[in-house]
Amino acid sequence: MAVRADLPVNSVAELVSYAQANPGKLSYASSGNGSPHHLGMEQFKLLTGTDMMHVPFKGVAESVPSLVAGRTDLMLVALSSINPHIQSGKIRVLGVGSLAKSALMPGVPPIADGGAPNFVALSRIGFVAPAGTPENRIHILADAITQALESPEIKERMQAFGMEPVDIPRDAYAELIRTEIPQYGELIEKVGLKID
């Protein structure tokens, strides 16, 4: 979670207090209606009882410059998209979207620790295969992916992009997808989101 440099908050807890004291005055950018950034912020608003205005853009390439220029106040976004702006001091990171601290952002606490209990907003990249793919082919692909993720060179390259490689067993990944789909459906219904 990143905020414009001059927003007078230095933690997620301060952001929550500020938003609660100023309902509807803060705006958050997203990469579009229904995007992970949008849904994550709607979940954050629900958990914290805050009211912020959504400003959808056509992708991260438009939403990040809006935050950097101070036209929007905050956003959820992958580290790789904002790292140069953090380094330049144009934006400030308040928290990470995992429940645990991130090795890529030492000293930055989880958003959940700042008043949004159990909040998780992670950008995941995973591999899937078409239904009916022969099991032996899936094993070959899974083994190759595991080997790649264990490679120091791949780990270093991924970290340079602000990504932490995690090798999740395929059954666990499938369960994660099965669990998240209805959770997002419930969130969309609960807050009355319209995807247009």
User: Residues 6 or more apart from 58 whose CB is under 8 A from it?
Assistant: 31, 32
CA separation for the pair 42, 160 (Å, rounded) = 29
Mean pLDDT across the chain, nearest whole number?
90
Model confidence pLDDT, tens digit, residues 109-146: 999 999 899 998 877 788 889 999 999 999 999 999 99
Count of CB atoms situated within 10 Å of the CB of 116: 24
Q: Among all chains, which residue has been given the structure tokens 């791949």?
A: 154
Dump pLDDT digits (tens) for 137-161. 999 999 999 999 889 998 888 887 7
Entry pTM: 0.83
DSSP type of residue 52: -
pLDDT-derived band at 195 (thresholds 50, 70, 90) equals low
CATH code of 2-122, in short, is 3.40.190.10
HSE-up (13 A, CA, CB side) for residue 184 = 17
